[in-house]
Amino acid sequence: YGGFGAEVISLPDGQALRVAALGYEGALADAMWMKAFFYYADRAKVDPRLKLLKAFVERVTEIDPNFAQVYYWAHTLLSFGRYDLENIAFLEDATWFLKKAVRQFPNQYYFPYQLGFDYYFLYPHADPERAKDWRNEGLQWMRLAADMPDAPESLAMELTGMYSKTGQLDVEIKYLKDI
């Protein structure tokens, strides 16, 4: 992407970019994040599919996998900035970044919490059978988040309420006994 409507012919892979950074991975990751930001700002209205946004953000996380803010940013843009009930591709991309963040930051509650929120509340519920599966996956992610040392205490109570709303009283009772 070259700006003002020009498209990228190729975007080097993360490993090539790390080598090219010559030890300045953080600076290159910042520059690539700004490139992703400007790409979004420039293309959001004319290309709602944002074909290259995921690639830009993926490169940033490959160059500097500890750049936590970019995972938050990508998730927010892709889930809330482009959310469409008819096409969940953006939400799937958003949760893809969150799952990558969970692997990178296994002790931070926010990423599994947000995955739980997305699966439980945001995924379309047009197909009741599929919606039940999504809610159950959301509960699993929420449980993982609630069990982390940095999770707020209120999350455990939020989770028990979610179990109750889905009719999983046995799981709710067992969870309450565990905490």
Predicted local confidence at residue 132, as pLDDT: 85
- pLDDT above 70 coverage of the chain, percent: 77
Confidence of residue 126 (pLDDT cuts 50, 70, 90): very low
Average pLDDT over residues 46-67: 83
pLDDT at 48 over 70: no
User: What mean pLDDT is predicted for residues 67-75?
Assistant: 91
Q: What is the pLDDT of residue 37?
A: 86
Residue 113: pLDDT over 60: yes
Instruction: State the pLDDT at residue 4.
Output: 43
- Looking at residue 1, its pLDDT comes to 42
Per-residue burial over 88-108, b if 16 or more Cβ lie within 10 Å, else e, is bebbebbbebbebbbeebeeb
Residue 38 predicted with pLDDT over 90: no
Q: What is the pTM of this model?
A: 0.80
